Structure 1
Amino acid sequence: MTVQRWRGAALGLALLLAAGPGGAAKLTERTRQKQAAEAERAVLQQKLTALKRDITRTESAKEDAADALAESEAAISDANRALYDLAREQKDTAGRIARLQKELAQLTKEVDAQKARLSRLLRQQHMAGGEDRIKLLLSGDNPNRINRDLQYLGYVSQAQARLIESLRADVAAVEKNKADTQDAKEELDEIALEQRDQKALLEREKAKRATLVAQLSNKLGEQRKEVGNVQRDEQRLGGLVDKLAKMIEEQRRAEIAAEKRRQQQLAAAAAERARQEKLREQQAAARRQREQQAHNVPRGKPLPGNNPDAIDADENPNLAANKRERERALPPPPPPAPPAGIFPASFPALRGQMAMPVHGEIAARFGGGRGDGPSWKGLFIKAAEGAEVKVVAGGRVVFAEWLRGFGNLIIVDHGSQYMSIYGNNQSLLKRPGDAVRAGEVIASAGNSGGNEQSGLYFEMRHQGRAFDPLGWVTSR
């Protein structure tokens, strides 16, 4: 190989390594995913807002002091949930950056080793004064030696090509790794900025709520003693649960009907494909028969039964178009199923095995009296403000919003018409539509809704009717 060719190869290598990705501004992947998720949640939230509005529409317009706290308590919940989500994202992103940096170190090491091997190979060829193919062919040397040397040159060229291709792929991987790392760092910057804003918002809302509670303290105390208020609160929750159960059942029936239609369409499409395949087989058999007859009939004599207008399936220009039409007619794939293991196979089988949703003292029990008011339909568990509230079993969040009398309320559907209800929370950490596993943190305890004590109001219901949670959940 000549000095010029060696220098050319070295220059090409330098240009290859110097190339880098464009630095055009772009949205981070996190931003795109958040936008898509928010768009999906907006549809479900509209349904729940309409449901809540329908429940409160029938109530009297009597002023409730707790309603004055609603906006502030909901804002505190939203800010805390945002901070919770951001902390989780921050942890995941930091872990991703650590993995990328580890991969980058390994890739850089491999690239350096490949560059050294390629440089050594090029230097050896230059020092040996490697003969090119034209010189070998015109040298008049022994043909066997020429053939051997040509094969050797071919092997060397292939090795060079493989090494350069491997190096190019590793350099591209390094650049992609750097781009991914930069994207992750930009996500961390976004998260830090959002955290700062949410913390400032949280502090403002907490101060606002404290001022309102001080102003409404006497009024809240009086209204809590009114039997009518307690009864209306229970009726409101019962109506919400009934309407949610109806909405869940309607959705389930719609999914079953959609899946049935889809299966019917798939069966029809399969039958059509089978018919087309059978037709192609028949046409292929007819073609083979005509070809066999053509070997046995004198040239120029028409084949008996031969139809010159018949077109073989493989030669039919409309088949491809027909196939595309059939593919377009196929039903869309079903919506993504809940993650495996989310809904219990049998909720009653979990009786006595579920853990209490929050650690604390049980201050009120199912069936206990409330003075002159109705009896308790669930448990009130005293707990420190901010204590973790965990879902008792797997399921899907169907409601997560402020409700008069229960403050920040979250309801989880466990399937088979079983629901668990968690009220008076400081913050709701999950949104409607979220799938949750048993023991997952879904809220933090508090005293929202005008409650005197910090803690959690907990109910369990089947077919809309409340039942005693004790015996189903244990404190172990």
Structure 2
Amino acid sequence: MAVTPTRRAGAFAWAAALALALAAGGAYAAPKQTERSKQKAVAEAERTALQKKLVDLKRDIGKTESAREDAADTLAESEEAISNANRSLRELAEEQSQTNAKLAQLAAEQLRLAATVAAQKQQLAKLLREQYVAGNEDRMKLLLSGDNPNRINRELQLMAYVSQAQAKLLESLRANLKAVEENQAEAQNAKEELDEIAQEERQQKSVLEQEKARRAAMLSNLSKKLTAQRKEAGKVEQDEQRLGGLVERLNKLIEEQARAAAAEKARQEKLAAERAAKAKAAAEARALARAKAQAERERIAQENKAKGIRTPPPKPEPVEPEEPKVAEKAPERDEKTPRPSDVALAPAAPDGAFASLKGQMRAPVTGKVAAKFGTKRGEGVSWKGMFIQAAEGAEVRSVAGGRVVFARWLRGFGNLIIVDHGGQYWSIYGFNESLLKREGDAVKAGDAIAAAGNTGGNEESGLYFELRHQGKAFDPAGWVKF
């Protein structure tokens, strides 16, 4: 069959459309910048206000003490750095696992999309060949052929269906090519995130090794001084007072934040009630005005009827346009307005939840109970909690759900983490090698929150564990299964 100029024009038009569609898939977007660093920066910024409060609180407690120098304080910076490095490594490992899983999903999706695109390209190429052979003058030929009008109509409808199918196929191909492009960009982003994570892991491992070596050297130099200080009953009492003061001040801080949050909630509820009352009053006023207007119309109609005057039909009432819904502007923050990072200290468990678990909670770490609540710790000093011997690095788990309200180094207890369980119940975990959770983090029962160790100048590796209610320590034995 001879190829006419009209056929060539139709074929070239389809070829141009196909070229545009394929070009969309060929020019892949340049790798976009990863969002991971931005998200981490935002998360850290949200904790800044909370951390400042806790640093100030810890500093205030330190100012009240008469002791100016403690051998354990020399280890503080190194032990905190080791804790931070270990926590960062754990977080990076979790990120790496999630990113690898995401990359695997993207790879599977890419294969599926590639197969779909290949099939659609073949189908479109076949349609283009058929269009090229048939040409675009068929509709005109049919109209001028003088054939049966019904047949012409059927043929034209069939051609329309074919054209629609071709358009849909082309649109679907474009959408799939765009999905391939986005998939590749996302995969590239995930690979860049993995590179970032790997780089950070190398840095953290280097920091960890350096800090461990520094701590070992300091321990060797301070060995005699630490041993002498551990035997001082006054020092042990000071340590306990320091922890008690910390718990008391934290409790006050949380109560202040709870009051501020309650006041803000009441203010928002009051504003909502005022808006609702205002809207109700406006609706009632409109209804009253309509009723008065209706009564006036009826009165006039009766007067006109008595006079024999025809009353024109009432004009339709104008429909009042709905007030556009404008997003409420967030209230401007001032010094007294609680920030999200401050309110985050509120317990993550309701009052009564912890008390209901009495006798059912599991031990926070696997090990041997070496010192029980109330037993002698030194001259005239008794244990306010329990000491559980455990291997260095053993996972320490939260005994119940709650929120971390303190996670940093404290003299006498090393790397210390405190969880608020609501109802003024607290669990306290000391001597840890590493703290795996941060202040403000919500935790569930059994979540790993720390790794056991011997920080704070302690001889044995293990965990110091306390339970407190309303600031007072009580025996964990009747609450936790050891």
Distance apart, 1:47 and its partner CA: 0.7
CA shift in 2, pair 1:370/1:329, >3 Å:
closer
For 1:441, which of 431, 437, 448 is the aligned residue?
448
Note if contact 1:391-1:442 (Cα within 8 Å) is conserved in structure 2. Answer: yes
Is 1:5 aligned with 2:14? no
Give the aligned length: 460
**Structure 1 residue 160 and structure 2 residue 166: aligned?**
yes
CA deviation profile, 1:198-221 (whole Å, cap 9, x unmatched): 000111100110010000000000
Which residue in the other structure is 2:94 paired with?
A: 88
Identical aligned pairs, as a percentage?
Answer: 57
CA contact (8 A) 1:100 1:181 kept: yes
Deviates more, 1:126-135 or 1:247-256: 126-135
For residues 308-323 of structure 1, what are the structure 2 equivalents within 5 Å? 312=318, 314=320, 320=323
Report the Cα offset of residue 2 of structure 1.
2.0
Deviations 1:152-175 (A, max 9, x none): 122112111211111111111111
Name the CA shift for 1:249/1:164 in 2 (closer, same or farther; >3 Å). same
Q: Write the deviation string for residues 70-89 of structure 1: whole angstroms up to 9, x where unpaired.
A: 00000111111110100110
Query: TM-score under structure 2 normalisation?
Result: 0.87
Give the aligned CA root-mean-square deviation in angstroms: 3.3
TM-score by length of 1: 0.88
Map 1:11-410; keep pairs closer than 5 Å. Answer: 11-19=16-24, 20-23=27-30, 26=33, 28-129=34-135, 131-277=137-283, 312=318, 314=320, 320=323, 324=326, 327-328=327-328, 343=349, 346-410=353-417
CA displacement, residues 41-64 of structure 1 (integer Å, 9 cap, x when unaligned): 111100100110111111114311
Q: Write the distance in 1 (CA, Å) between the matches of 2:170 and 2:298.
A: 54
Query: Displacement of 1:128 after TM fit?
Result: 3.5
Amino acid in the other structure paired with 2:467: M
Give the stretch that moved more between structures: 103-112 or 457-466: 103-112
CA distance in 2, matches of 1:471, 1:66: 33
Mapped contact 1:73–1:209 kept (Cα < 8 A) = yes
SS at 1:442's partner residue? strand
- The answer to whether the 8 Å contact 1:384/1:455 transfers is yes
- SS at 1:470 equivalent: helix
- The one-letter amino acid paired with 1:108 is A
| SS state at 1:352 partner | coil
Which segment drifts farther, 77-86 or 247-256?
A: 247-256
How far apart are residue 15 of structure 1 and its match?
2.9
Tell me by how many angstroms 1:103 deviates. 1.1
For 2:359 and 2:49, the matched residues in 1 are separated by 37
> Shift in Å at residue 178 of structure 1?
0.8
Structure 1 pair 370/335, CA: closer, same or farther in 2 (3 Å)?
closer
Give the 3-state SS of the residue equivalent to 1:2 in structure 2. helix
Does the CA-based 8 Å contact 1:402-1:408 persist in structure 2?
Answer: yes
SS of 2:65 mapped into structure 1: coil
| Preserved contact between residue 230 and residue 373 of structure 1 (Cα < 8 Å) | no
User: In structure 1, what is the Cα distance between the partners aligned to 2:426 and 2:234?
Assistant: 26
The answer to whether the 8 Å contact 1:287/1:312 transfers is no
Q: Is the 8 A contact 1:411 1:421 kept in 2?
A: yes
Q: 1:416 aligns with which of 423, 427, 432?
A: 423
Q: Secondary structure at the match of 2:463?
A: strand
Alpha-carbon deviation of 1:343?
1.7
Say which is worse superposed, 221-230 or 264-273, in terms of deviation: 264-273
Inter-CA distance 87–329: structure 2 relative to 1 (3 Å threshold)? closer
Q: More deviation in 162-171 or 176-185?
A: 162-171
Distance in 1 separating the partners of 2:163 and 2:292: 52
Contact 2:30-2:185 within 8 A present in 1 as well = no
- Give the equivalent residue in structure 1 for 2:468: 461
Partners of 1:101 and 1:424 in 2: how far apart?
A: 45
Q: Counterparts of 2:166 and 2:416 in 1: how far apart (Å)?
A: 67
Distance 1:138 1:150 in 2: 13
Change (3 A) 1:245 1:108: same
Secondary structure of the structure 1 residue equivalent to 2:382: coil
Distance 1:118 1:77, change over 3 A: same
Give the Cα–Cα distance (whole angstroms) in 1 for the partners of residues 295 and 115 of structure 2.
Answer: 65
Structure 2 residue identity aligned to 1:8: A
Question: Is residue 349–residue 421 contact of structure 2 (8 Å, CA) maintained in 1?
Answer: yes
Q: CA deviation at 1:69?
A: 0.4
SS of residue in 1 equivalent to 2:381: coil
Residue pair 2:466, 2:473 contacting (<8 A) in 1 also? yes
For residue 421 of structure 1, report the CA deviation from its aligned partner: 0.3
Q: Which runs of 5+ in 1 are unaligned?
A: none
Supply the distance in 1 between the matched residues of 2:183 and 2:90 (Cα, whole angstroms).
28
Higher mean C-alpha deviation, range 284-293 or range 453-462:
284-293
1:231–1:373: 8 Å Cα contact kept in structure 2? no
Task: Please give the alpha-carbon distance, in whole angstroms, between the structure 2 residues aligned to 1:426 and 1:287.
Answer: 81
The alignment status of 1:470 with 2:470, answered yes or no, reads: no
Letter aligned with residue 411 of structure 1: I
CA distance in 2, matches of 1:14, 1:280: 62
